Structure 1
Amino acid sequence: MKEMYPKNGKVILHVDMNSFYASVEIAYDPSLQGKPVAIAGNVEERKGIIITCSYEARAFGVKTTMPLWEAKRKCPHLIVMKPNFERYRKASLAMFELLRTYTDLVEPVSIDEGYLDITNCYEKGSPLDIATSIQQSLQKTLLLPCSIGIAPNKFLAKMASNMKKPLGITVLRKRDVQPILWPMAVGKMHGVGEKTAEKLATIHINTIGDLAKGNDVQLKQLLGINGERLKQRANGQDNRPVDPDAISEFKSIGNSTTLAYDSADENELTEVIKRLSSSVGSRIRRKDMLTNNVQLMLRYSDRKTVTRSRKLDNPIDKDVEIFQAAQRLLKAHWKGEPIRLLGVTAQELIEKNEAFKQLDLFSYEREAKKEPLLKVLDHLKGKYGKDIVSNGVKISKQTLGSNEHGTSFEKDFLSNVHKDD
């Protein structure tokens, strides 16, 4: 079987669950099998939006982010359900546990997809045998369908898994890049969003082939370092390893600061939390992440440390929202004792383009309109200093202590995450 594997290259699988949320609901209630099912926020209201839907619903033209009223117009017998994120989380954990029975080199990239490096798994069969076994095992044990891409690198594996849905298995080799990928619209390429595709169109790059042959200088001027990276991908080049610890890199982002003196002044503590929240908000926005959980750390004068967290209804990245969550934790858990250190952490981070908020359509649009303003504010703070734009009362450096910018304690929480696994 070893001859089925490359002598020098790698064999990477990308496992992508099909209509994950809807599929989990169908697995829990088999009577939904074969019916048009949609998961939506605010299911009681006309202005709710579709988070995901089954392929039976898609056959009627129902799509993700479509207003609920429009989805019901296209499919009057659509079965609409509220999201059950705890149920989806459990299904995701079971899915990745099954994948790790094939290899330890499993890299989750979101709740419903991940990469596997099976380069040294030839004793378990050919790459196609392993992919087929994974697909059948997920279907049999969890009742969950998936599509799988088989390729020599992560980019091609991701592109391959998108080619046949549901329940597809696609092999994509480097020699397939020119005849299969190059004729595709550049907007269909993984890593190229709608805005990037619009920018590329301004320099007459409309297909993946155009990008593969694009001018290096033009691409760098237009997209920065990402232009060079995208051109490499368009040529089938991707040297990223499958890293089982990669998802932990941004599990949490936090800042803490030791106060210049132990303080029991609620106003002072609130202002410190506001400053820390602003720093955390800026950092997660720079990484295009959202947080599902805000944690507050309190260290008292006797060095006793307490951490309390607040699970959020919807993922956030705004300074004021992070601050409000942390402030509520302070009010709920602080008993008035002098505090030596404060910390704010954004936990359970997810990529912004993977996140769906349980919002009605109008709230969704309102949130989107805030994005340009936030980016301008972050740019101004980065260029001219964080005090160039501020809200509320400015806190003194004395209260903040000598460690004005705070210290990241991301690693502390990563160790906690590993302990929980």
Structure 2
Amino acid sequence: MKAFYPKNGRVILHVDMNSFFASVEMAENPALKGKPLAVAGNPKERKGIIVTCSYEARKFGVKTTMPVWEAKKRCPDLLIVPPRFDLYKKASAEMFSILRAYSPLVEPVSIDEGYVDITGLEELGTPPAIAESIQQQILAELDLPSSIGIAPNKFLAKTASDMKKPMGITILRKRDIPRLLWPRPLIEMHGVGGKTAEKLNGCGLFTIGDLAHADDFLLKQLLGIRGIRLKERANGRDPRPVDPESVNVTKSVGRMVTLSKDTGDEHQIDAVLKKLADETAERMRKKEVAATNVGIMIRYADRKTVTRSKKSGGPVESGDALFQAARTLFIRNWNGQPVRLLGITASGLTDRKAEAEQLSLFSYEEAAKKEPLYEAISRLRKKFGEQIIQTGREAGKRPPDPRG
């Protein structure tokens, strides 16, 4: 038993529900089991978007955010049902209730996944036995499948849970990293998105092993402190504790800038606010969060400072949405005097995945459709400059450079 519970280490589980929405629908209607099933908006219309799908549907190439017409083309026998978010939230609450019966250290990550710290729970058995008990209890009581990763830290536990789906239990120890983790391409590493992978590939880093042995200075130049953190993860190091209160902590991201000279020119102010909004949105994208509150800071030439914020009607994550909210606040609170400093803050941050799952169906579809557009715009602006793509409003005004 001591071999399973290290004296100075942790034992952490990552519990990930398999094809959660579709599985809940199957639990409610057993006649759907074993069939290609998708949860989608406007299932009777060709413009509907796939929210999630069963593993039987995935075998045909059906994917999340795929248009219904394309999914039906790939899988003619695909069964489509509209989403029932209240039902999914209820199942999620019941799932987390089961996890908390094993340990008080449970950290929800989103509606369908969470970490459980089982360090010191030898009386419940070995970690694999505990994972098996959790998995079988969720299946027996909720009729829902899950995959569980067992590891000494959160990163490795998350990685392990992805290794075998559905209904998998995987142990990933630090000594297994060179064999199981390092040969994998970077894009498969948790925390590395497409843009990050492209940057690293461009410097000759293609596998997780390449990242694990990369030069610190190079990583700092490419990704800042995040590069060093990713290297730590690639080497199996992750000191983050399982924090049950993390979902209740109010966090924020933002950007501010002191202007090269005080200005009261609205075109220049708009240009600065837009730049700040885009930079804040980029930071939110990297953290994979959405904001429920937007704030601004205005500092005048006499150093008088005004801060104002407003709760948004729904999750905000794009640069355009942040800009519109910040500009509205600015107009309401600006006294017309020259401005020395401007700042935008996005707070009340929540996991983008969890927020998307709780959006109204229409909002979900619109967000799903726009996501590739925002990614494409961001790539073009980074490659060719901020002015390469402008909104109609921006193109009409074409404000001068805020630096004068």
Tell me if TM exceeds 0.5. Answer: yes
2:78 is aligned with 1:78: yes
In structure 2, the residue matched to 1:358 is: 365
| Cα distance change, pair 375–93 in 1 and its aligned pair in 2 (3 A) | farther
- Provide the C-alpha distance between the structure 2 equivalents of 1:168 and 1:200, rounded to a whole number of angstroms: 31
Aligned to 1:47, the other structure's residue is in SS state coil
Counting only pairs closer than 5 Å after superposition, residues 276-355 of structure 1 correspond to structure 2 as 286-288=283-285, 291=290, 312=314, 317=318, 318-319=321-322, 349-351=350-352, 355=356
Gaps of 5+ in 2: 255-272, 296-309, 330-344, 358-363, 388-393, 398-404
- Provide the C-alpha distance between the structure 1 equivalents of 2:222 and 2:200, rounded to a whole number of angstroms: 8
CA deviation vs aligned residue, 1:107-163 (integer Å, no higher than 9, x gap): 111111111110111111110010000000111111111100000111111110000
- Provide the C-alpha distance between the structure 2 equivalents of 1:139 and 1:156, rounded to a whole number of angstroms: 24
In structure 1, the residue matched to 2:101 is: 101
In structure 2, the residue matched to 1:408 is: none
- Give how far 1:45 is off: 2.6
- Provide the C-alpha distance between the structure 2 equivalents of 1:245 and 1:281, rounded to a whole number of angstroms: 30
In structure 2, the residue matched to 1:249 is: 249
Query: Aligned AA for 1:59?
Result: K
| Cα distance change, pair 188–367 in 1 and its aligned pair in 2 (3 A) | closer
CA deviation vs aligned residue, 1:261-305 (integer Å, no higher than 9, x gap): xxxxxxxxxxxxxxx9x9999867643355586799xxxxxxxxx
Query: Aligned AA for 1:95?
Result: M
| Cα distance change, pair 362–164 in 1 and its aligned pair in 2 (3 A) | closer
- Provide the C-alpha distance between the structure 2 equivalents of 1:215 and 1:8, rounded to a whole number of angstroms: 29
| Cα distance change, pair 234–364 in 1 and its aligned pair in 2 (3 A) | closer
In structure 1, the residue matched to 2:340 is: none
Aligned to 2:366, the other structure's residue is in SS state coil
Contact 1:47–1:360 (8 Å) recurs in 2: no
Counting only pairs closer than 5 Å after superposition, residues 255-270 of structure 1 correspond to structure 2 as none
Query: Aligned AA for 1:350?
Result: D
Contact 1:40–1:52 (8 Å) recurs in 2: yes
| Deviating more after overlay: 346-355 vs 62-71 | 346-355
Contact 1:253–1:280 (8 Å) recurs in 2: no
In structure 2, the residue matched to 1:8 is: 8
- Give how far 1:354 is off: 7.7
Contact 2:135–2:147 (8 Å) recurs in 1: yes
In structure 2, the residue matched to 1:126 is: 126
Contact 2:107–2:114 (8 Å) recurs in 1: yes
In structure 2, the residue matched to 1:213 is: 213
| Cα distance change, pair 95–161 in 1 and its aligned pair in 2 (3 A) | same
Query: Aligned AA for 1:74?
Result: R
In structure 2, the residue matched to 1:162 is: 162
| Cα distance change, pair 184–353 in 1 and its aligned pair in 2 (3 A) | farther
CA deviation vs aligned residue, 1:388-416 (integer Å, no higher than 9, x gap): x9xx9xxxxxxxxxxxxxxxxxxxxxxxx
Contact 1:48–1:68 (8 Å) recurs in 2: yes
- Give how far 1:47 is off: 2.9
Aligned to 1:13, the other structure's residue is in SS state strand
Aligned to 2:64, the other structure's residue is in SS state coil
- Provide the C-alpha distance between the structure 2 equivalents of 1:220 and 1:64, rounded to a whole number of angstroms: 34
Aligned to 2:108, the other structure's residue is in SS state strand
Counting only pairs closer than 5 Å after superposition, residues 140-179 of structure 1 correspond to structure 2 as 140-179=140-179
Gaps of 5+ in 1: 255-275, 297-307, 327-343, 381-388, 393-421
- Provide the C-alpha distance between the structure 1 equivalents of 2:382 and 2:140, rounded to a whole number of angstroms: 46
- Give how far 1:9 is off: 1.0
Contact 1:12–1:154 (8 Å) recurs in 2: yes
| Cα distance change, pair 367–202 in 1 and its aligned pair in 2 (3 A) | closer
Aligned to 1:149, the other structure's residue is in SS state strand
| Cα distance change, pair 83–281 in 1 and its aligned pair in 2 (3 A) | farther
Contact 1:280–1:345 (8 Å) recurs in 2: no
In structure 1, the residue matched to 2:192 is: 192
In structure 2, the residue matched to 1:228 is: 228
In structure 1, the residue matched to 2:266 is: none
Contact 1:150–1:169 (8 Å) recurs in 2: yes
| Cα distance change, pair 252–84 in 1 and its aligned pair in 2 (3 A) | farther
- Provide the C-alpha distance between the structure 2 equivalents of 1:90 and 1:49, rounded to a whole number of angstroms: 23
Aligned to 1:98, the other structure's residue is in SS state helix
- Give how far 1:5 is off: 1.3
| Deviating more after overlay: 133-142 vs 364-373 | 364-373
- Give how far 1:85 is off: 1.8
Query: Aligned AA for 1:208?
Result: I
Query: Aligned AA for 1:287?
Result: M
Query: Aligned AA for 2:365?
Result: Q
Task: Report the TM-score when normalising by structure 1.
Answer: 0.69
- Provide the C-alpha distance between the structure 2 equivalents of 1:116 and 1:361, rounded to a whole number of angstroms: 30
Contact 2:280–2:346 (8 Å) recurs in 1: no
In structure 2, the residue matched to 1:115 is: 115
In structure 2, the residue matched to 1:46 is: 46
| Cα distance change, pair 279–118 in 1 and its aligned pair in 2 (3 A) | same
